[in-house]
Every structure is written in structure tokens, then in C-alpha cells.
Structure 1
Amino acid sequence: MTESPRRRQLLDAAQSVLADGGLKGLTHRAVDRRAGLPEGSCSAYLRTRQALQAALAEHVAGQLLADVDRLADRMRDADEPDGVDAALELFQRWLDQRELLVARLELTMAATRDPGLAQVLETHRVRLVEIVDAIVTAAGKEHGAARAEALVASYDGILLAALLKPDSEHRSFLARSMDLLGTGLAGPSAT
């Protein structure tokens, strides 16, 4: 869905509010304040708390998915079948944009109790698994949906663990973890 500039402003503010204060802090008023807009602006676009959370899940997951889509395109266009360095750059950028990852984690936890939110995130996850499967296939590795799904889940875990480390350790932790993961789950060449 294409977002209007105002809706995007509100969702960017909501992402920031969620990352700073968790789901309990995500209110229409807090979003209005963070966006620097008059009270009632957020509720004019997203009437209920549930609508706000669903739109925010779509917004956050959409940003991450777009980044992975661009990574896959870049790898295909540059003939970089082994995109470890490109993926490392992407993950480092996400860690530098901590709010995006933290918001996604908060929404993922909320989705365990909210089927509607779970459906929004699952739709994006299915697409993400398809992209990862295509990347692994292009790299000439053994592949399949189950392997791609395990890779996605493993990358999620690596990113979560990295969030808990000091900034100065992010890159080395990511490189080491992705190398270990690549030799395991990414599998041998399909030839």
C-alpha cells in the first residue's frame, strides 16, 4: 500500500514510540506528540489501537522486506551469488537503525497474542522466505522452503543477539555468526 506523506510521518513516529516505550507506550497521543502534530491527527488516520498496530506492522515489515528485495536485486544485477558481504552491510545498517528492529521485535511478540497482527507479519514473512530461497538458489546452494525458512529464523536470532551487544561488537559478531550459519544451513553447493 502506498502511504500518504502524513500517514508515513505518523507511522515513522509510531515506530519510534514503540521502540522507545514498548507496546504499552504506543498511544495515539504519543504518536501525535512524536510526530509534532496536533492531538487527534493519528486517530484521524488510524481510528483504533488495533488499526494503529496493524498499520505499523505493515509499515515496519514493509521497510525490512523492501531492503531484502533490494539486496536480492543487487546480488542478481552484480552477479554476486554469495551475498554474505552485502547481507552483512544490510544487517549492520539495520542495527544502526535500531528503532526499526526493536519495533519489529515488539510487534512480533504482540502477534503471538493477536491473530490479526500475526497475519500481517506472516504475509511479509512468506515473501521474505521466498526471496531468501531465490538468493540461495542463485548462489548454487542446496535450497528449499524449509531451509530458507530456517535461515530467516536464524538471521532473526542473530539480529536479536546483536542488539544486545555493544555497538563496537556488532560487525564482528554478525560476520562470525553469518559465517557459521552459512557453512551450516546455507548448505553445500547443489552441484
Structure 2
Amino acid sequence: MPDRPAELSPRRRALLDAALQVLAEQGLRGLTHRAVDRQAGLPQGTCSAYLRTRRALLTALTEYVAANLAADVDRLAAELAGLPHDGDTTRQVDGVARMFLGWLEHPEMLLARQELTIEATRDAELAAVLAAARDGLVDVVDGILRARGKDHGPERAAWLVASLDGILLAALLRPAADRAGFLGRALEQTLGSLALE
């Protein structure tokens, strides 16, 4: 898991929330200091006073997105840790589904992560931040596999997380009213099939 950043000041949090919204709505091309200031309702120059360069803005936003998603995964992992390891992982799968549905109900974080993931293919520093956050979800999925008696190691869990990423992206492309049903069916097929292996 990535280290949690120091507590953000209200102004910095407002800037990062605004940057998240700009990135989700306009993509990386639209992510400028001026656009963030406008979105946050702050005077021009505020964002650049806190995050001097585009590089600083991208890095801070990547850390913010990764930390927020990782916090959700941490909460899920803590919830699942108290469940019995009796081979029935229905509640674990339901927990993953609830977390994903929460992400889909407020998709800005997922949209931003998609944009940042593409950028990270050309930026090793951003890739490292996103990879560290992803490790937490791999650990949760690995725990579900182990609870089912399927100890195939973390690589298998990483493959499954990649599949779940694809399901999340496919759900994002559907009309909002169809997302929950699609997600439920896809997770049932993907995670439920583990019991048969």
C-alpha cells in the first residue's frame, strides 16, 4: 500500500478535488492550473502557488487518487479480515461488489485513474504510485482466493484484478442505470467461477 500523504490543508484538498473533476470531465489536455482555479472558484494563480508546475500537479493528483482508492480497499480489507475462512466467500465477493458500486456511483475517481494510468505508461514515477495502490486490491483478491482454498500466489490475484479493472471500465461505458446490474452479473461470473476451479 502507498504511504498515506500527510493530512491535506483545506485549500490543497479543494485544489485536488477540483483537479480531479477537471481531469474526469476534460481529460489530461484540459488539466491546467487555470482550469483547476476556475473549477475550485479560486483566484487565478492559486493552483500554481500550491503546485508550481504541471508535473507537480500531476504527481499530487496521482497520489491523491491512489490514496483515496487505497483507503477504500483498506476499509474493505479490514471488513473482510473478520470473516470466517470456511470456503464460502459470498460475503467477500459482496464486499468487493459494494466497493465497486460505490466507485461507479461517483465515477470521477475511476475516470481520473484511467487517465492517469494511460499517462503512467510514459511516466515511471506515476506508474510507481499507481502500482503501490493496486497492490492493496491484489492482496484483498488473494485473500478471497486463499479463503476458497485456491492458493495460487499473488500473480494469479494480479491477473484477476486486471480482469476486474476491465469490468469496471466496461461498467463505466454503460448508461448509469445499467451499471449495477452489469457489475453484479460480471462479478458473479468472474469471482464466482473461482469456486469451480
TM-score, with normalisation over the residues of structure 1?
0.90
For each residue in 1:92-122, what CA deviation from the matched residue of structure 2 results, as whole angstroms up to 9, or x when unmatched?
1111111111000000011112222212212
Q: Among 44, 54, 66, which residue is 1:61 paired with?
A: 66
Aligned identity (percent) is: 54
Corresponding residue for residue 33 of structure 2: 28
1:7 deviation in Å?
Answer: 1.1
For each residue in 1:116-174, what CA deviation from the matched residue of structure 2 results, as whole angstroms up to 9, or x when unmatched?
22122122223332333234324543341111101111110000000011122111211
Corresponding residue for residue 79 of structure 2: 74
Q: Among 8, 14, 20, which residue is 1:9 paired with?
A: 14
- Give unmatched runs, 5+ long, in structure 2: none
SS in 2 for 1:142: coil
8 Å CA contact 2:69, 2:133 repeated in 1: no
For each residue in 1:13-72, what CA deviation from the matched residue of structure 2 results, as whole angstroms up to 9, or x when unmatched?
100000000000000111111111111111111111011111101111111111011011
Corresponding residue for residue 125 of structure 1: 134
Cα distance in 1, alignment partners of residues 141 and 167 from structure 2: 16
Question: Is 96-105 or 163-172 further displaced after alignment?
Answer: 163-172
In the alignment, does 2:115 pair up with 1:137? no
Question: Is 139-148 or 14-23 further displaced after alignment?
Answer: 139-148
Cα distance in 2, alignment partners of residues 62 and 153 from structure 1: 19
Q: CA separation of 1:37/1:137 partners in 2, compared to 1, >3 Å: closer, same or farther?
A: same
Instruction: Give the superposed CA RMSD.
Output: 1.9
Q: Among 97, 101, 107, which residue is 1:98 paired with?
A: 107
SS in 1 for 2:43: coil
Corresponding residue for residue 158 of structure 1: 167
* Matched letter for residue 122 of structure 1: A
In the alignment, does 2:113 pair up with 1:109? no
- Give unmatched runs, 5+ long, in structure 1: none
Q: CA separation of 1:91/1:77 partners in 2, compared to 1, >3 Å: closer, same or farther?
A: same
- Equivalenced residues, count: 188
In the alignment, does 2:56 pair up with 1:47? no
Question: Is 131-140 or 68-77 further displaced after alignment?
Answer: 131-140
